Amino acid sequence: MVKITAPADCDNAPKKKFLKEFNVAFAEADVDYFHDKLTDDVVWDMVGDKIIEGKENFIAALLKMKEYTAKELKIESIITHGRSAAVNGTMVMNKGNVFAFADFYEFRGAKGSLVKKLTSYVVEK
């Protein structure tokens, strides 16, 4: 089980709660979680690595990453505003390496919770 650390206010707003759950599912490699959380034409830009287009390709990429599971997820902050949001933190992987990340989200609409675009910056510490 992944140890989760997140700011106390993450559960105060629906979009912050959603983003916390989204990141927990990512850390736990819970691929099934993402099927109804993404638009069909979602774009995942892993800056400096690759761009993945489409829900099925997004989920396929997550399946490939499933062997690299985390033992700890620390969310430093979640910021939301309208159709945009950002999450940053660190993940400690089961093999011991530590990654710092900053993810920027674009939602289909201001009130919805379908991710249309995700831009990820990841640095190994």
Convert the pLDDT of each residue in 41-88 to its tens digit: 999 999 999 999 999 999 999 998 877 789 999 999 999 999 999 999
Q: 111 near 123, Cβ under 8 Å? A: no
Strands of 70-81's sheet in order across: 3-5, 70-81, 84-93, 98-107, 115-124, 38-46, 50-53
Alpha carbons 52 and 54: distance in angstroms, whole number: 7
Domain that holds residue 97: 3-124
CATH code of the domain in which 92 resides: 3.10.450.50
Please count the structural domains in the chain: 1
pTM of the complete model: 0.93
